[in-house]
Each structure stands twice: as structure tokens, then as C-alpha cells.
Amino acid sequence: MIYGCANFMEIPWETLIKLYRKKLGGKKFEHLENYAEDFIYFLKSQVERFPESVTKDPHYYNIGTYYKKIYGDFQDLRDDFLWDLENSEDFPDESSKCIKECIDDKSLDECCNVSAGENYLNDISNAIMDCIIDEEIKKCIDAEPIESLKDIDPTEFIKEYEELIQDLIEDTFIEIQLGNEHIQKLKTIASNLFLKYDLNKNEPSSGVVIAGFGEEDIFACLESYEVYYFFKKILKYRRREDTTKISYDNTAEIIPFAQGEMVNTFMAGIDPSYIEELMFHLRNEFDNYPPLIIEAKKKLFVENIKEEEICSVVNDLRSETLEKVDNMLKDIIAEKYASIMDVLSTLPKGELAEIAESLVNLTSFKRKITMQKETVAGPIDVSIISKSDGFIWIKRKQYFKRELNPHVNDS
């Protein structure tokens, strides 16, 4: 199964899969993971099919969209900061405090003077870029490296795409007078966008799911990969954590790919986004407790209690309470999930196919009646893979009438 981008560097996945099937021929492997590894090896061998212009396009898009995000963050933070500067003596926002520390008081005073402010806006812009770019560099350091790219030197990537990166910097940050340090850090960010995982949510990629049995596999297996694009002759790809195997201890699994919110809601009994919102608001509420208690202490004239001690005690209570709430929610979800898995492991194959189709239909229906993109829609392909019967289509859409094309087989 393929999800995400329907093409791999402008070649349809359907074409690549048929080429691999032809290459595989009658060759068989003991385990499913061997088929998955062989397919990835096949993809790596296809690098010569792609001209330089095609291999460069994904990098241009990936770096370009991220630079636009950074520039958008810069504009938002600059506007907020200037509003704070004109309307408030305090800078409650951490980012505003960071910027204020980077600018001398004279520049701040002059910025409030419209006639003189132009001379100092560059100082503010550079301070804002310092804060934003330093935060992005921290993200790059903390991001998970891609195992398949561990031997690539970041400077090698920058050298290969020096001109492309420089053009994107000039086109994106045209209104800002960037210093050399900013430019070097932006180049570092560009190399990390390729070498690290999940920095850019808009990075072009495809999900590749391989499920079934090897010759020696008794229970069903599933291998899942994210496949990106090439740097020179090196393929960027990642084996996903939702790779799984059915076993005596793990008798059933429901794994959503692409959009999984409705499947997760069905399984957990609550939309995961609601849990995130709940925990977010709980944290905000608890964050307000220390100043409220300190204020109450002043009104009650409580002596011999330091404000630092109050904050420390309340923060400890906050952490304990949040942990208890989080664990309680996880226990409730785990109990409901386990009960569904127990039933699924006993259902006949036909009913499993109906459940899978229903869950996809739920996601499609939700996307249709909300403001989200309709990235899931019918008609839906449904198949069953079993050790005894192999791969069986239950439902399959075609763009042609089968009776007019008898030469086309079911594969």
C-alpha cells in the first residue's frame, strides 16, 4: 500500500512496483522483512533513472517551504514585539524578553519615535532573527537523525546545493539585511532538513506499507517505511515504528496510515486531539496557581513563607496532578483498546475486511463535513492477505471497464 505522495520523484509508484515485481520474478524470501529490504534495495538501484533536475526539485521544495515558515515566524514575532513596545512597559512573552535583551535601551527608545525609528528597525529585525534562528538550530540538534544518511557530512550537502540554498535565502528574506552568521546558520538548517527526521511537516514523502507473509512466517507481518528522495546516489528513507508482527502474545492489530484520527477515536473512545487540548488547558491552569497563591498570601498577611517556596510546592503539585491525569487517561484507553483487540482476534476474515472499510469510510465522512482536506475518499480498495489464500481482493476500483479489456489480468 502507498499513501502520501502518489509519485516517487515524478514516477508513479504503480510503475515502480510493477518493475520490482518483474525483477523479483519467482524469487522468494523466508520472512516478510526480507521482501521489504529487497524492495528498498531496488529503489536505491533506480537512482540512474532520475536526471539532475528531478533530484534537485524535492530539495528546492523542502528548503524553500521551511525558509518561508521561518520568515512567517519572523513577521509575526516582529509585529507582536513592536506592538508590545508601543503599548506596554512589560514584556511578558519570553520571545519578546529575548529580543529586548539583544537591543540596547537607546534603540528601543528611538523605535518608539516614528521619525527616528527607521534607523533602528534593522537592529530589531536582526535581534528577532537571532532568536528565531537559534531556536531552529536547537530543533535541528534535538531532531532524530536518519539512519540511512548517517555517513553524509552536512558540509558535503551544503557544498552540493550551495547555489540553490543561497538563491532561496535571497528570495525569501529579501526584506531583511541578514548577517553572515544568519546565512551560515540558515545553511546549517538546510542540511539538517535533509539529514534529520520530521523537521519539516511539508517535506515530500510517501508511505510504503508491505504486509503479508514470508515463506517461513506463520503469523502476518507488516513493514512500514517513509520514502523521501535522493541526495546524489543515497536514498533518504526511514523504517517506521508501526512495523509489527502478529504473534501468540500480540493476536491482533489495527494500524491507521495517513489520517488516523477517526480510527484512533474508535479504538480509544475519545479523540486524541481532545486529550491534547485537555492536558494543554490543565497545564495553563496550573501555571496560573503560583501568582494566585502569592497574591492570596499577601491578602492574608501570612508571614514566614517565601514566595519561592510557594512556587516550588505548587509546581511539584502541578507535576504530580498532571502525571496522575495523564496516566488515568492512558489506562482507560488501554483497557478499551485491549477489549477490542480481543474480539478482533476471533473474527472471520470477511468481517475484518468490513471493519477496515468502515473505519476508512468514517475518516472519509469526517473529512467531507469538516474544513479539513478531503485526502481520504471513496471508492475504497479492500483486500485480505492470509497464509492459506494469499492476497485476495474484496473490493477494487478500476479506471476502465473490465469487459472491454479482457487482456488485463487481476494483478
pLDDT, tens digit (0-9, with 9 covering 90-100), for 257-279: 877 777 777 666 677 777 777 77
- What residues have CB less than 8 Å from 178, skipping those under 6 apart? 129, 169, 186
d(CA 354, CA 341): 16
Alpha-carbon torsion, ordered 298, 299, 303, 308, to 10 deg: -30
pLDDT tens-place string over residues 389-400:
888 888 888 777
Note the pLDDT of residue 107: 44
pLDDT, residue 106, reads: 40
**What is the tens place of the pLDDT at every residue in 352-361?**
888 888 888 8
Kind and range of the H or E element at 354? helix 349-369
Q: How confident is the model at residue 292 (pLDDT cuts 50, 70, 90)?
A: low
CA–CA dist 345, 342 (Å, integer): 6
pLDDT (average), residues 120-127:
74
pLDDT at 178 over 70: yes
Please tell me whether the overall predicted TM-score, pTM, comes out greater than 0.75 for this model.
no
Convert the pLDDT of each residue in 18-37 to its tens digit: 999 999 999 999 999 999 99
Calpha distance 356→360 (Å, rounded): 6
Model confidence at 366: pLDDT above 80: no
**314 pLDDT more than 80:** no
* 3-class secondary structure, 24: helix
12 membership: H or E segment, kind and range: strand 11-12
